Amino acid sequence: AAPAAGPQVVLVTGGTGLVGQGIRSFVEGAGAEGAPEGETWYYASSKDGDLRKAEDTRALFERVKPTHVIHLAAKVGGLFHNMAKKVDFYRENMLINDNVMGMCREFKVVKLVSCLSTCVFPDKTTYPIDETMIHDGPPHSSNEGYAYAKRMIDVMNRCYRDQHGCSFTSIIPTNIYGPDDNFSIQDGHVIPGLIHKCYIAKRDGTPFTIWGSGTPLRQFIHSHDLAALTVWTLRSYEEADPIILSVDEAAEVSIRDVALMVAEGMGFEGEVVFDSSKADGQFKKTASNAKLRSYLPDYKFKSMKEGLAETCKWFIENFETARK
């Protein structure tokens, strides 16, 4: 069934982050395809309420009165941050997710789309990973706090459907990149970290040093593609079970290739060094987008070369104000 007719209020939690801002620029830029007349979109930040707190979450829902929710808010970070703060990643995400789901039920939200991640899948698995395999074994120990908290979203989506008839579902993006990311070298994800490092190497005339061997393989999705597919999920995907939002398997790239594309995007011509004494994380996490392709066989993703060049340009132009 299509989402309820009539004016709708879409609350995007974590609306000021990488994915939230991607959705905003998609919805505001896409005209009729994005936000039809009568729809209001509200992009919440932590300043609108700390979702770890039940009373803040309730106040936000009372104020916005959402009919639909895209739940992105989370404590997120890269490999090194996850390894150092497992308890924080578990507890904060559990609190945020429990509060948001509880309020969505209470406020009779028509549809809730929450956000998982491919790094919540079992460490020991067969490839490609698909949506049915989330709970088939323990996640990689480097991010077990984050992973178990995220996995519980999937469990609770089914529980809320069974006990309360709620239309809750989730998306599973692969690694995301784009404008408005957190470009912290210490706590950020690989692409924004590489872009920031390359910026400094170019500015200071030093080598561009990449942590790890460069051999791990990853699938990256540009935040604008993820935005388009998330809005599609909200409007048209009716299953409770999650859907992987990823580029095709053939679009998997090595970290080395990404680093070289970043160097090109930044116009860096100095020495590129791979520091193999630093941890690599999982060698690969290849995900299947067969389910997505069964719904949207012709969707065309932005190429990495183009997406990275744009993101490098964005970082250079917004260096003073970018999160870093």
Residue type, 73: A
Q: Which is nearer to ligand NDP, 52 or 197 (CB)?
A: 52
Distances (CA, A) of 164 to 97, 106, 155, 201, 243: 17, 10, 14, 54, 22
* Binding residue for ligand NDP, selected from 104, 115, 153, 243, defined by CB under 6 A: 115
Residue 301: both structure tokens together: 């993703």
| 176 scored as a contact of ligand NDP (CB under 6 A) | yes
Annotated active-site positions, please? Answer: 146
| 14 scored as a contact of ligand NDP (CB under 6 A) | yes
| 50 scored as a contact of ligand NDP (CB under 6 A) | yes
> How many of the other CB atoms lie within 10 Å of CB of 234?
22
Q: Which is nearer to ligand NDP, 74 or 195 (CB)?
A: 74
Task: Provide φ and ψ at 121, rounded to 5°.
Answer: -75, 160
Q: Which is nearer to ligand NDP, 73 or 198 (CB)?
A: 73
* Binding residue for ligand NDP, selected from 16, 82, 99, 219, defined by CB under 6 A: 16
Give the separation between CA 20 and CA 23, rounded to whole angstroms.
Answer: 5
| 45 scored as a contact of ligand NDP (CB under 6 A) | yes
* Binding residue for ligand NDP, selected from 27, 35, 70, 76, defined by CB under 6 A: 76
Q: State the greatest distance between any 2 C-alpha atoms of the chain, in Å, as a whole number.
A: 60
| 281 scored as a contact of ligand NDP (CB under 6 A) | no
Query: Following CA atoms 107, 45, 43, 14 in sequence, which dihedral angle do they give, to the nearest 10 degrees?
Result: -80
Which residues in this chain contact ligand NDP in the complex, by CB under 6 A?
14-20, 45-47, 50-52, 72-76, 96, 115, 117, 173, 175-176, 182, 189
